[in-house]
Copies of this chain bind each other. A is one copy, B any other.
Amino acid sequence: MGIVRKTASVKFVLSIFEEREKAVSVVALVKLLKEKMNKTTVYRILDRLEQDGIIHSFLGKDGLRWYAKCQGCSADHHLDVHPHFQCKDCGDVECLPVDVLIPSVENRQVDSAEIMLVGKCGNCL
């Protein structure tokens, strides 16, 4: 079970993801919301929104956690099996709307794949 009560904090975090296309790191969110809410609250709201299939998360190239809007996921099924791209100059992260086939590996059961592409974005080229 994720979000049960639509508090002011929850609404505010949701509005950030509604307005934004690109992914955002938890670190940036905590900084951005410093005046509005406690960092523990940010972490917990993100947890709940992810459980509900409203946002999804992944690790950037430095091991920090990033979040982005989901496209048609639900509490039961996260379908966000797309790769992500991080610019090594500006640090921006984007979801790549590309279907990726999870490679199979002999003698192992592969359940998910995290694919992180690193390079330079259009702005930084």
Please report A residues at the B interface, Cβ cutoff 8 Å: 59, 61, 63-65, 83, 85, 87-88, 96, 98, 100, 102-103, 105, 107-122, 125
Bound complex: CA A85 to CA B30 (Å): 31
Copies in the complex: 2
Closest to A121 in B: B108
Bound complex: CA A121 to CA B111 (Å): 11
A68 CB, min distance to chain B CBs, angstroms: 16
Bound complex: CA A58 to CA B103 (Å): 19
Contact present for A120 and B108 (CB under 8 Å): yes
Bound complex: CA A112 to CA B118 (Å): 5
Contact present for B115 and A105 (CB under 8 Å): no
Chain B contacts of A117 at CB under 8 A?
A: 102-103, 105, 110, 112-113
Contact present for B105 and A110 (CB under 8 Å): no
Contact of A85 among B59, B88, B98, B105 (CB under 8 A): B105
